[in-house]
Chains A and B, each alone.
Chain A
Amino acid sequence: ELKVEQNPLFLSMQEGKNYTIYCNYSTTSDRLYWYRQDPGKSLESLFVLLSNGAVKQEGRLMASLDTKARLSTLHITAAVHDLSATYFCAVDSTYSGGGADGLTFGKGTHLIIQP
């Protein structure tokens, strides 16, 4: 059974600081996704990482994937209040031998960025 673990689950930080969210998964997969969710809203796709060593950047967010370590990171640079949200990583079960064409999500990281 594929398991996806995120940490931390809750993070409060100040504007201007840097921080990293970690996503570990339990079985082989080379497709990993990051989503953002604002309170009461739907999920917004941020990044798709498709191979070992993949790195994607958008503004103050950068995501990377190490398939050998089964680890993805989401790095926040010089955080601003607008980045406050819950961030989810998700692994494609199909590529991990799970047999189902769906995503297995981590529990999410609730990020609060204070002025």
Chain B
Amino acid sequence: DAGITQSPRHKVTETGTPVTLRCHQTENHRYMYWYRQDPGHGLRLIHYSYGVKDTDKGEVSDGYSVSRSKTEDFLLTLESATSSQTSVYFCAISQGVGETQYFGPGTRLLVL
């Protein structure tokens, strides 16, 4: 397995609270991504990063922000969680554009 960890692996929170999910890689890959997976939707891209402090929006970025201060860490923040953000969140990494993306173990988030 590619060296990708996500924390926490499970989280329950209440509507309106801030939540931060962490993705950590030991592969020194340049690109990192955050996806969410929901039944009937497959996976959808939230944000991605193409280098330290270089990030951009994906398909479903509303309500999410990201930061990447180090190559190995990519943080996803829900500023004020809503029930519609209940999902499984996957981080992925790749060496470059068009290269295979490798996925982390996922974080299950429940917003009550």
Contact = CB atoms under 8 A, between A and B. Distances in A.
Interface of A: 4, 31, 33, 35, 41-45, 48, 88, 90, 92-95, 100-108
Interface stretch (B15-23, B37-45, B70-78, B79-87): B37-45
B43 A101 contact: no
Contacts of A107: 40-42
A93 B33 CA distance: 13
List the 6 closest A-B pairs by CB distance, nearest first.
Answer: A102-B45, A105-B42, A43-B103, A105-B43, A107-B42, A42-B103
Interface in B37-78: 40-45, 48, 50, 56-59
A42 B31 contact: no
Interface of B: 31, 33, 35, 40-45, 48, 50, 56-59, 90, 97-98, 100-106
Contacts, number: 60
Given A33-B101, A43-B90, A95-B98, 10 more contacts: A42-B104, A42-B105, A43-B43, A92-B98, A100-B58, A101-B97, A103-B43, A104-B45, A105-B42, A107-B41
Contact of A42 (B33, B50, B57, B106): B106
Contacts of A42: 90, 103-106
B35 to A, nearest CB: 8
Contact of B42 (A31, A48, A102, A106): A106
B4 to A, nearest CB: 9
A32 B48 CA distance: 19
8 contacts: A42-B90, A42-B104, A42-B106, A90-B43, A100-B56, A101-B31, A107-B42, A108-B42
